[in-house]
Structure 1
Amino acid sequence: MPIITYQGKTYECSSEESLVDGMNRQGANISYGCRGGLCQACMVKAVKGTPPAAAQAGIKPSLQKKGYFLACLCNPESDIEIALPDRRDEFSPATITTIDHLNPSVLRLMTTRPDGFNYRPGQFVNFIRAADGLSRSYSLASIPDDDRLEFHIRLLPGGRMSGWLASELKPGDELLLSDAMGDCCYRDSYGDQPLLLAGTGTGLAPLYGILRDALSRGHTGQIRLLHGGLSGGDLYLDHDLRDLAAAHANLTYIPCVLNGDTPSGGVSGPINSHLGRQLAGGENWIAFLCGDSGIVEAMRSSCISSGLDESAIHSDAFG
């Protein structure tokens, strides 16, 4: 079997499993996210040897030339020595300007926009902790017209990244950011089509960017936004979204809770159970679905059952 050398240790990895799975099974602790080659959280650098071409899919050509590849897409074919990425090759520094709580479990973090940093609302970036290379993906809630980048961070019990962000960082500190990634974004061609935006928890972050992007571009079709939470306290931008809906005649905001009292103008029960009603009687709907992967899949199934074509569905499923 191919021998992988990493931080002075060697690991045997079968060509029948990915490098990230094979090494982590042996205690290497390589960072990863989606395991599908999209988030690039598992990017490593070949110091000796050549990674398979398939493992460099989606990586910038400049980094490919330097030996970078994705451990989740790499089924090793020969011996190779790898190292953690050189963050100066890969990421941009951003300065934290604001950290506040939107509710007890959601942190809003705002940073400066690095020079040359381009993105489309609804995309996501990787945060990198320079000290140890810890990486996590977070969606952008801002739009390019803003003078800052905005993120909504779910605080997970024992979460290594979210705990660090909440307890140790402060305005003036720096974060390393990857390039923006993902394709869950508004298109100008959607200008007069009805849009369904649905998400739970911090799945609202990319939807908030997509919504504001559509409105700023003069979208004329109707827009329906459903934000779901376990209870009313999880609807962390409820007042802002109500104000936004009041200012735009084509926007309907529908809060959704799984438990507790039904919010004013909202609904109760699983969010996916309400999508068919929103799509009924309309044509040419475009759907944006964001949140935990299981909920996104349930919402996708509901949309397809209601007659929506797969090509009309954009999603950002959190791993």
Structure 2
Amino acid sequence: MPTVIYQGKAYECESDETLLDGVNRQGGTISYGCRGGFCQSCMVKAVKGTPPAAAQAGIRPAMKKKGYFLSCLCKPESDFEITPPDRRDEFIPATVTGLEYLNPTVIRLTTKRPDGFNYRPGQFVNLIRPEDGLARSYSLASIPSDGELAFHIRLLPDGKMSNWFIDHLQCGTEILLSDAMGDCCYRKGYADRPLLLAGTGTGLAPIYGILRDALASGHSQQIRLLHGALSSDGLYYDQLLRGVADKHNNFSYIPCLLNEAAPEGGLSGPIDSHIPAQLASDSNWVAFLCGDSEVVTSMRKSCVTHGMDESAIHSDAFG
């Protein structure tokens, strides 16, 4: 069995397991997020050994040359010596400019937009704690013309990252950012097609960015935004989105509550159950689905059952 040397200790990987699983199974600690090669939270650096090409999928060429690879995609065939990423190689410093509560369990974090940092509304980045490299993926709720980056962050009772935000961050604090990732984004080619934007919880963050991008691009076809929450407290942008709807005749905001009666102009029950009715008025929809992974899967199934082509469905499923 291949042996992996990591932080001075040796770990043996079974033939059917990834380097990430083999090291963590035996008591090592490699951070990870999606486990599917998308978020890049499990990136490590090879000091000895050559990473397989498949484990470097999606990594910037400069990082590949330095030996970086994704441990969740690597099934070792030979011995390795690896180290945690050197954050100076990998990430971009950004200064915190604001931290506010949107409701009791969601905060809005803003940072300066670093020079040269490019992104498309709806993409996500990894936020990294500088002192130990702890990383979590968060979707951008801003658009480039804002001049700052905005994130909607759900506070978890035992969340190592979200609680650190509350306990330690303040204006002027420096955090680290990855490059922007993902393709759940508006395209100019969608200008003549109606848009369905549906998200649950902080899945509203990328949806809100996509909405603003479409409106700023002059999208004239109808746009429908469904935001699902357990209760009315979860509709943290309710008044803001109603205001956007008042200003744009082609935009409809539809709040959805799972455990309460339908709010004004909204619906009650599971958000995925309302997808078919929203799609009934046209056959050329483009859908953007964001939030909890199980709900996103259910919404996608509703879209496909209604006859939507998979290529017209974009999603950002939170793990």
TM range (shorter): over 0.9
Give 1:204 shift.
0.2
The one-letter code of the counterpart of 1:152 is H
Give 1:264 shift.
0.4
Q: Which residue of 1 aligns with 2:175?
A: 175
Say whether residues 1:103 and 2:103 are aligned partners: yes
Give 1:253 shift.
0.2
The one-letter code of the counterpart of 1:124 is F
Q: Which residue of 2 aligns with 1:124?
A: 124
The one-letter code of the counterpart of 2:132 is D
Unmatched 5+ stretches in structure 2: none
Residues 108-187 of structure 1 mapped to structure 2, 5 A cutoff: 108-187=108-187
Paired residue secondary structure (1:34): coil
Q: Which residue of 1 aligns with 2:188?
A: 188
Give 1:18 shift.
0.9
Distance 2:73 2:284 in 1: 36
The one-letter code of the counterpart of 1:101 is Y
Can you list the C-alpha shifts for 1:24-67, whole angstroms capped at 9, x where unaligned? 11111211111111110100000111111110011000000000
Moved over 4 A (4+): none
Paired residue secondary structure (2:110): strand
The one-letter code of the counterpart of 1:98 is G
Distance 2:140 2:92 in 1: 15
Distance 2:240 2:281 in 1: 29
| Larger CA deviation: 60-69 vs 46-55 | 46-55
Q: Which residue of 1 aligns with 2:22?
A: 22
The one-letter code of the counterpart of 1:104 is P
The one-letter code of the counterpart of 1:56 is Q
Does the CA contact (< 8 Å) of 1:120 and 1:185 recur in 2?
yes
Q: Which residue of 2 aligns with 1:268?
A: 268
Q: TM-score, normalised by structure 2?
A: 0.99
Q: Which residue of 1 aligns with 2:287?
A: 287
Q: Which residue of 2 aligns with 1:31?
A: 31
Report the number of matched residues: 319
Residues 183-262 of structure 1 mapped to structure 2, 5 A cutoff: 183-262=183-262
Give 1:130 shift.
1.5
Distance 1:131 1:111 in 2: 18
Unmatched 5+ stretches in structure 1: none
Distance 2:78 2:194 in 1: 51
Q: TM-score, normalised by structure 1?
A: 0.99
Distance 2:83 2:236 in 1: 40
Distance 1:161 1:27 in 2: 21
Identity rate, percent: 70
The one-letter code of the counterpart of 1:168 is H
Does the CA contact (< 8 Å) of 1:232 and 1:261 recur in 2?
no
The one-letter code of the counterpart of 2:185 is C
Distance 1:152 1:298 in 2: 23
Paired residue secondary structure (1:308): coil
Q: Which residue of 2 aligns with 1:56?
A: 56
The one-letter code of the counterpart of 1:76 is P
Give 1:15 shift.
3.0
Can you list the C-alpha shifts for 1:133-173, whole angstroms capped at 9, x where unaligned? 11100000000111100000000110000010111111110
Give 1:261 shift.
2.7
Paired residue secondary structure (1:142): coil
Distance 2:52 2:134 in 1: 24
Q: Which residue of 2 aligns with 1:315?
A: 315
Can you list the C-alpha shifts for 1:74-116, whole angstroms capped at 9, x where unaligned? 0011100000111111110000000000000001000000111
The one-letter code of the counterpart of 1:137 is S
